[in-house]
Structures are given as structure tokens and as C-alpha cells.
Chains A and B, each alone.
Chain A
Amino acid sequence: MDDGLRLTDLRILRGAAPMLELDLHVPPAAIVSLMGPSGVGKSTLLAAITGQLSADFTLSGDIQLNGRHLRPLPAQLRRVGILYQDHLLFPHLSVGGNLAFGLSPDVPRKLRRDRVEAALHDIGLDGYHDRDPETLSGGQKARVAMMRTLLSNPDLLLLDEPFSRLDKTLRDQMRQLVFAVARDRDLPVLLVTHDAEDAQAAGGPVIQLTQINR
């Protein structure tokens, strides 16, 4: 059942204080943008969906992804891809090594190198397989990080202000690329951002999160 992401009666408490309440549906190939001031709980929500919520928070309600209930699952079994504003490439692996780290283990050993090379081609980095990631430009690093996430075959893509460290031109290119790839693969996308232009470029519904009054 490819239904996308459904958050039902989702509530997050920080300690005993309510922080966030949300009902949300992100269908496949749709991009929903979440906006709101710092501290409203945007990143906390993403952590709740990836399964990496810290022990200071309590979560209730239901999270479903394509019909699977995510909350009972440990983070590594949720198939939720996430891109952060820092690219977080592993500096001890080559560019190709970083992509292979993401590439699904179902791809057999013999085909992995070809798949990685093809992925490099897709992001315009032919011949970069053995390069040290530190030698890449900011835009190139961002593309590698995105491709690394996609190669793990996620069912959902979360974007945690992934464009905010890029300069203006790169930001536009990167947005176009990420959104096109997501639509191409029918991925539901949840975008968290400060930047109204991001939300505008995404073209989907925009949800304003506000501080809960206590």
C-alpha cells in the first residue's frame, strides 16, 4: 500500500510540557514544507520520524509509512532517508566509498562498483570515485550526500534545511535536483526550512508550526 507518510494524533512532550501536536499526510511524490520559528520542534519532529528522538522527549500518536507502523521499529529498520544541512560525508572513505556505504546491501558485490559509477554519472561527478570528499566543493558534497541517501532506497525523504549552507545559485540547482529526483521516484518528501523560497520552490502545501500556548 503506497500511501506515503501519515502522522496521526502525533504529540511530542519536552519533559512534561507539550511541544508539538500534528496530523499530517504526505502522499507519494508530494513535497510538504514545514516552517516555523526556532525551537518550535521542527528538528525534533524529524528525529521522531527517523527514530532518533532523545530521551528528553516523549512521543505519542501514530507514524505510518506506506502502511507500516514506524514507532515500534528501531531507527535502522525504518527506511527513512534524511539530509542535513551539513553534508556529513565520511572523511575516511572515498567519494565512491561514501556512496557504496549508502547503496543497499541487496546489490551484489560484483555490480556495486557499476552502480556507484552510474550514480556518480547521475550527479555529474564522473571519474570522482576515488577522490577524497574533502577536495570537493560545497555543491558537489551536497550532491554526493543526497545520492548516498537515495542509494539506500528510502521510502521517505526528510530534508532538514539541506540548502541553507549553499550559496544562492547552488541552492536553486540543488533544490531542482532534489525535488526532481524525489518526484521521479514517487518519494514522499517532508521539508523543514526557515527559507520561504525553499517552500515556494517545493510547490507543495506549506504548514506553519507555532508555539503551543501553555
Chain B
Amino acid sequence: MRLPPALPLLTVLALLGPVAAGLWGTFSAGFGHFPVAGLNGPSLAPFQTLWAWPGLQTSVRLSLATGILATVVSLAITVLLLAGWTGTRPFRALLRMLSPLLSVPHAAAAFGLLFLIQPSGWLVRAVSPWLSGWDRPPDVLLVQDPLGLALMIGLVVKEVPFLLLISLAALGQIDSTGRMQVATALGYGRIRGWILGVFPALYARIRLPVYVVLAYSMSVVDVAVILGPNTPPSLSVQIVRWMAEPDLVQRTTASAAAILQLGLVVLALLLWRGAEQMIAITARRIAYSGARGQREAGLRVIGLSFGTLSVGAVLAGLAGLLVWSFAARWSFPDVLPDGLSLRNWQRNGPAAWQTLGTTFVIALAATLSGLVLTLGCLETEERHHWRLTEKGLWLLYLPLLIPQTAFLPGMQTLLLQIGVDRTLWAVVLAHMVFVLPYLRLSLEGPYKAWDARQGTIAAAMGASANRIFFRLRLPILLAPVLTAFAVGMAVSVGQYLPTLLVGGGRVQTLTTEAVALAAGGDRRAIGVYGLLQTAAALLPFMMAVILPPLVWRNRKGLQHG
């Protein structure tokens, strides 16, 4: 029996269906067509309301500035680390932290950072009162600052691990070692040689992920709710606020703002693209000038310092969540609480455990169905000798490039009209949109890397294609499939907006609960939820690391990879 080509079709539908439907919903509501609220468009009223909103200019500036700045800084740290430190001992130490860091949900990392840098946070406590003279938390805006700097830092600490991991995967394909040998023998310093000789080829391969970082940073909601300014907030946060208003007409304002947000992302991508070309021309001129860049110890130190800082901030933040979740009385400026207690866990535990259950059900449903689709696609494509083209890759990245706030409001208004919003399955469908691309990206390499001759041998012995797939290929690919599973779970656990908008308040995960706690400022409860959220994302990763060596303990050939 041949696998029906229905699987690729179904995958594209699951991947792009919600996006297309959501955009349709956003555009019709944004142009005043929203029958549920008794509005029959088209009209420009939603945009008129939007233009009249006094916070618009600031929120647009925030979205553009924090998004672009966070991307530039993340990319710069990544480049300096790779250029200055590849192959060294500190670099290898950093690498070991990457995968776990990547799976820490954005909201948990943002809360950790909040506990670190807010006026009553660890950093201020560490210098008070002996150095700063403060015996009460100082009245300064260290977080939720009007410029959005805290928000930007919160994004950078999560995007650097992402860009590093993506780059490391790509570096193996472009002979970076050979390129560096040539540049070094010609007299180039480490960083100059890497930037002129390796980076152009690397960038061509990580361009789409960089665009994803840009689009994401511009339109992020959960991190912005936690670390960003409030009055007014960045545009995407304001969209969510309008969506939450009891007056349904406000959803048309939200949709108009969502169209604007989409336009801003497109504009930023075009600007970025232009900047790419200018930088490429400049780099070629510098390469032609032959300047060797031999004094760059300072740059190397800067790269390593910022890299270490961004890793350290996430780790210290998680430690902060841990301490707060067990803290008894903890007054300012003590560095540690007076005592530890289980009271916070007892108080928040029962509700949190139940939410953990929902979180896992959604993540499991989205990831497992996503895995079936992805493996089905890979296998079908191979049997038909199809290859993932550049265009296919863009399709895969599309749901990650279109801001969540642009199509999720529309998806919600559509679901509302057919009356199936706020169900668990609608949330699972929304999560799959974001899980599927990451599943495909993490399985693509391992799936193609298998030795096709093993299949040929099996087929020559009379094994059917299905038998080869289930009895040979899947078992051999156990480790990568489990890793992909862990990635999918982490992506789903970390989702905020799909759960919030599609679940409409009726479906709660650890992430939505944790972010909802942000406004109240109950740090002990935040500690409990943030930790559970991190644990839920890390657990599948630990399983993916531990399980394959146990299953294959008597098979040496399968113990690496």
C-alpha cells in the first residue's frame, strides 16, 4: 500500500489554513465587516477609531524600535561569539547550555529577568543598602521603562540561543574551518576573517530564521506584558487588550490594528533587506581594502561578556523563580528570604497541577499529530522523490513570519462566528500552526541523513515500503524523533497568544495563567507557575536525552545521534 499523498496536503492545510482563514477574518473585521457585532461593512470606521487612539504613535514606535533593536543586538552577540570563540573551551561550555536555554518558555525567562532587574530585584538587593544607600526599593523605572529597554533585553536573552543553535547547524554545511584557515594564513584576525570570510555564506542560510526573530520581536505579547511599558504598551499588547474588551465592536479596532501590525512587520522586513544589501556592499569594500583587523582582543571580550551575561541572566532568573516560589517572609534589601516554606506550593499547587494537565494534553495532541503529519510528509516526499525547495521553505516559515497578532484575532472572530471558539481542539489546531514548522526543521536533517542503501537492502529482501518505514527507519531515527518531539512540546508549552485568543479565557495553560499573574505582582505565585512552565518544557528534552541510550544500550552504532 502506498501512503496517500493526502498527508502533505493535510499538513499544508494545518499549517496555512488557520493563517489564511485568520488573515481573512482580520481583514474583514478590520474593514468593518463583523456580523456578530451587528456590523456589515465594508467601512473605515475601525481605522478611524485606531487613528484617534492617542497612544498609537508611541505604540508603533515601540513595536518598531524594540523589535529591530532586539534583532540587531541578538545577531551582533551571536556573530561576536561565533567569530571570536568558536572551538574554544568557554564556547563549548556555553554550547552545553544552549538546548535547555532554548526550551525555557519566553514568559518564564521574562519573569526571571523581571525578578532580577526590577527595583526590588536581586541586582538592587545585592548592592543595597551598603553601596546604594537604599533601604526601600528605589522609585526608578528599571522594568516597563517607556523606551522598552527591559523588553528588548528580555527578547535578546532568548533569541541569542536560538540564533546560535541555528547558526551552528548551518556552519557545518559551508566549510567554515577551511575558510578560516585561509583567512588566518593570509593574516586576518579571528573576528575580521570570520566576518568577511564565513559570515556571508552563513547569513544566506540563516536569513529566514533571522526574519522570524525580527517579526517575533516586533509583535511579541507575553514578554511585552511582563517587561514592556504599559501606558501605552507596544502595538501587539494593545491589540490583545482591545480583543479582551466586552464590547465586541472593539474587536474591529483590534483587527485594524492587527492589519497595521502586519504592515509594520512587512516594512521592517523590507528595511532589513535593504540594510542587508548595504552591509554586503560595505563588507565587499572592506574585503577589497585588505585591512587585516589584527587588534580585536577587546571585541572578543565584549562578545564573550555579553554572551555569558545573556546566558547567566536566564539562569539567575530561573533561580529567582525557584527562591520566590519557596520564600517565606522576604523583606528588602535581604538577598535571601528569612526562611523557606512549602506554603506557596500548597496554596497554588492544586490549581497549577490541573493547569499543567491541560498544558500537557494540548502540547501532546499538537505535537503527536504534528509528528504524524511531518513524518508522513517526509516519507511521502521521499517515495515520490520530491525535494523541499526554497519556496517550500518559505511556506514552512510563513506562519512564523506573519505576526501572531495579525492572524490570531481573525481566527478568533471566525471561530466565534461559527461558534466553536474557546474549545480545547481549536486551541490544539492553533498550536499546531507553530509546532509544525519546528518539527519539520528539526527532522529534515536527520531524516535525509539516513543511509538509503539500508532501505535498498531491506527492499531487496522483500520488505514493503511501509515495513521499512516502521521497522527500520523509525527505530533508527528514535533519537532525532524524540528530540523533535521535545522541541514540539516546548514550542506548544510556551505558546501564549494562540491559547489566550483561541481559548478565549476558557482554556488555560501554565503560560496564560503565569502571564495573567503579571498584573497582580504576586511573586510567589509567579515563581510557582514560572517553574512549572519551565519544567513542562524541559521534561520532554530530558526524556529525549535519556531514553535513546536506554533503549539502545546494547547497540553501539545507535548511541550517537
Which residues from chain A sit less than 8 Å from chain B, CB to CB? 50-52, 75-77, 79-82, 84, 86, 88, 90-93, 97, 100-105, 107, 109, 112, 148-149, 152
| Min distance, Cβ A146 to any Cβ of chain B, angstroms | 12
Neighbour of A82 across the interface among B179, B185, B284, B287, CB < 8 A: B185
Contact in complex: B184, A101 (CB < 8 Å): no
Contact in complex: B186, A148 (CB < 8 Å): yes
Contact in complex: B196, A101 (CB < 8 Å): yes
Contacts of B189 in A (CB 8 A): 76
Contact in complex: B178, A92 (CB < 8 Å): no
Contact in complex: B292, A101 (CB < 8 Å): no
Contact in complex: A76, B187 (CB < 8 Å): yes
| Min distance, Cβ A78 to any Cβ of chain B, angstroms | 8
Q: With contacts A76-B294, A92-B201 known, is A105 near B182, CB below 8 A?
A: no
Contact in complex: A92, B200 (CB < 8 Å): yes
Contact in complex: A80, B185 (CB < 8 Å): yes
B9 within 8 A of A: no
Neighbour of B292 across the interface among A52, A105, A109, CB < 8 A: A105
Contacts of B284 in A (CB 8 A): 93, 97
Contact in complex: B186, A88 (CB < 8 Å): no
Which of A51, A79, A101, A149 gathers the greatest number of chain B CB atoms within 10 Å? A101
Neighbour of A75 across the interface among B185, B201, B289, B291, CB < 8 A: B185
Contacts of A107 in B (CB 8 A): 290
Contacts of B197 in A (CB 8 A): 90, 101
Interface residues on B, range: 20 to 34
Contacts of B287 in A (CB 8 A): 93, 97, 100-101
Contact in complex: A77, B294 (CB < 8 Å): yes
B229 within 8 A of A: no
Q: Which 8 A-B pairs have the closest CB atoms?
A: A92-B200, A105-B290, A100-B288, A75-B184, A152-B186, A82-B185, A88-B182, A76-B187
B354 within 8 A of A: no
> 1/0 contact trace for B164-207 toward A, CB 8 Å?
00000000000100110110111111100100110011000000
Bound: A50/B185 CA distance, A: 7
Which residue of chain A lies nearest to B198 when distances are taken between CB atoms in the complex?
A: A90
Neighbour of B187 across the interface among A79, A84, A90, CB < 8 A: A79
Which residue of chain A lies nearest to B288 when distances are taken between CB atoms in the complex?
A: A100
Bound: A52/B179 CA distance, A: 13
Neighbour of A52 across the interface among B184, B186, B200, CB < 8 A: B184
Contact in complex: B290, A100 (CB < 8 Å): yes
Contacts of A93 in B (CB 8 A): 284, 287
Known: A84-B178, A92-B201. 17 other contacts (CB 8 A): A50-B184, A75-B185, A76-B184, A76-B292, A77-B187, A82-B181, A88-B181, A88-B182, A90-B179, A90-B182, A90-B200, A93-B284, A97-B287, A100-B288, A102-B186, A105-B292, A149-B185
Q: With contacts A76-B188, A90-B197 known, is A84 near B290, CB below 8 A?
A: no
> 1/0 contact trace for B256-296 toward A, CB 8 Å?
00000000000000000000000000001001111110100
Bound: A42/B376 CA distance, A: 49
Contact in complex: B290, A88 (CB < 8 Å): no
Which residue of chain A lies nearest to B284 when distances are taken between CB atoms in the complex?
A: A97
A-B contact pairs, 20 of them (CB 8 A): A50-B181, A50-B184, A52-B181, A52-B185, A76-B193, A80-B185, A82-B181, A86-B178, A88-B175, A88-B179, A90-B182, A90-B200, A92-B201, A93-B284, A97-B287, A102-B290, A105-B290, A105-B292, A112-B288, A149-B186
